[in-house]
């Protein structure tokens, strides 16, 4: 199983490169439409649309757990898609979510501002609109990565390859990615990742369900020990605090069994 993630700036033809690479390798292409279709199947479409590579407002971040829930559910969608087999992912933080897997190749597509404006004008944009669109999308995508992962979108260390499209054609850029993706060094990387992806996806779904029910993001703690098997740990002040999380997680897709290790510690009268 292999993954290629492609992160692009607006006006670099990165989406076309992703499409061609996926077609040549006969990999699934997970762009916005495909990700939203899977989110719809999982019941998370509204969550994914709310995120959509944009950072939530300051008010939402300060006074609501919704952004965290939306993000957990987007992450679970990415992990679900990755578990289905060879794929090219376009954006949505996939290069960070899948960076722990050695079988993933991470590509960054960039270009100078003038080249990007030129590309958008050739696609029918008014020059002024092109400039505004580029600045807006750069800000939104960079802010999303900072909010979701605390990382700098422009940090080259997040990528295996950075393609500057100022002097590269789409054909040449595509060929470069294909050449690297087909090397024996890449093919030799571990591909036994499906189990890990299933477990990571279930963790995110479980955490989102608990946060939505009013629990904090850290208590109770959720661990997925094996696919479908969840362990709950933490401390509760009464029996309800122990049983309620378990009841909530029974309704999460993919949960088969729950080992509830939450400890009930009752406070003594008078707080002693």
Dump pLDDT digits (tens) for 179-207.
998 887 665 555 457 778 888 888 988 98
Residue ranges of the chain that CATH labels 3.40.50.300: 3-182
Question: Considering Cα of 164, then 168, then 171, then 173, what sign does the dihedral take?
Answer: negative
52 backbone φψ class: left, alpha, beta (φ>0; ψ -120 to 50): left
Question: CB within 8 A of 187, min separation 6: which ones?
Answer: 2
Q: Give pLDDT, residue 189.
A: 56
Please report which helix (H) or strand (E) contains residue 142, including its range.
helix 127-149
Residue with tokens 């969550």: 47
Q: What letter does residue 161 receive in the DSSP assignment?
A: E
CATH code at 3-182: 3.40.50.300
Strands (E), 158-256: 161-164, 221-226, 229-233, 235-236
| CATH 3.30.1340.30 domain locations along the chain | 195-271
Percent of the chain with pLDDT over 70: 88
CA torsion, ordered 23, 28, 29, 30, to nearest 10 deg: 180
* CATH number for the domain running over 195-271: 3.30.1340.30
* Whole-angstrom distance, CA of residue 123 vs CA of residue 253: 43
104: which strand partners? Answer: 3
Model-level pTM? Answer: 0.74
Q: Tell me which residue has tokens 């960070």.
A: 96
- List the pLDDT tens digit at each of the 272 positions of the chain: 588 999 999 999 999 999 999 999 999 999 989 999 998 998 888 888 877 655 555 545 544 566 788 888 888 899 889 888 889 999 888 898 888 887 889 999 999 999 999 999 999 999 999 999 999 999 988 988 888 888 999 999 999 999 999 999 999 999 999 999 888 766 555 545 777 888 888 898 898 888 888 887 677 899 998 889 999 999 888 888 899 999 999 999 889 999 999 998 876 555 55
Helices 113-122 & 127-149, crossing angle to 10 degrees?
120
In angstroms, the CA 36 to CA 74 distance is 9
**3-state SS, one letter per residue, for 31-48:** CHHHHHHHHHHHCCHHHH
Return the structure tokens found at 255. Answer: 């949960």
């Amino acid at each position: 199983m292999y993954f290629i993630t492609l992160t692009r700036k607006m006006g670099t033809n990165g989406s076309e490169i992703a499409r061609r690479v996926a077609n040549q390798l006969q990999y699934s292409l997970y762009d916005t439409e495909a990700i939203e279709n899977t989110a719809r199947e999982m019941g998370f479409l509204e969550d994914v649309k709310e995120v959509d590579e944009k950072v939530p407002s300051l008010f939402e971040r300060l006074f609501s757990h919704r952004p965290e829930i939306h993000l957990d559910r987007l992450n679970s969608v990415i992990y679900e898609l990755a578990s289905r087999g060879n794929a090219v992912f376009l954006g949505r933080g996939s290069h960070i979510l899948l960076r722990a897997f050695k079988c993933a190749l991470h590509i960054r597509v960039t270009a100078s501002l003038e080249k990007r404006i030129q590309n958008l004008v050739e696609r029918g944009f008014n020059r002024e609109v092109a400039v505004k669109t580029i600045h807006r999308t750069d800000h939104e995508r960079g802010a999303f990565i900072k909010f979701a992962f605390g990382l700098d979108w422009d940090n080259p260390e997040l990528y295996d390859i950075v393609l500057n499209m100022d002097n590269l054609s789409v054909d040449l850029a595509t060929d470069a990615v294909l050449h690297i993706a087909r090397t024996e060094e890449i093919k030799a990387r571990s591909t036994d990742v499906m189990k890990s992806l299933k477990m990571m996806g279930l963790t995110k779904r479980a955490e989102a369900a608990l946060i939505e029910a009013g629990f904090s993001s850290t208590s109770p703690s959720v661990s997925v020990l094996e696919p479908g098997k969840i362990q709950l740990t933490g401390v509760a002040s009464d029996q309800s605090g122990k049983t309620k999380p378990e009841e909530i997680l029974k309704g999460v897709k993919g949960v088969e069994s729950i080992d509830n290790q939450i400890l009930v510690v009752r406070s003594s009268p008078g707080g002693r």
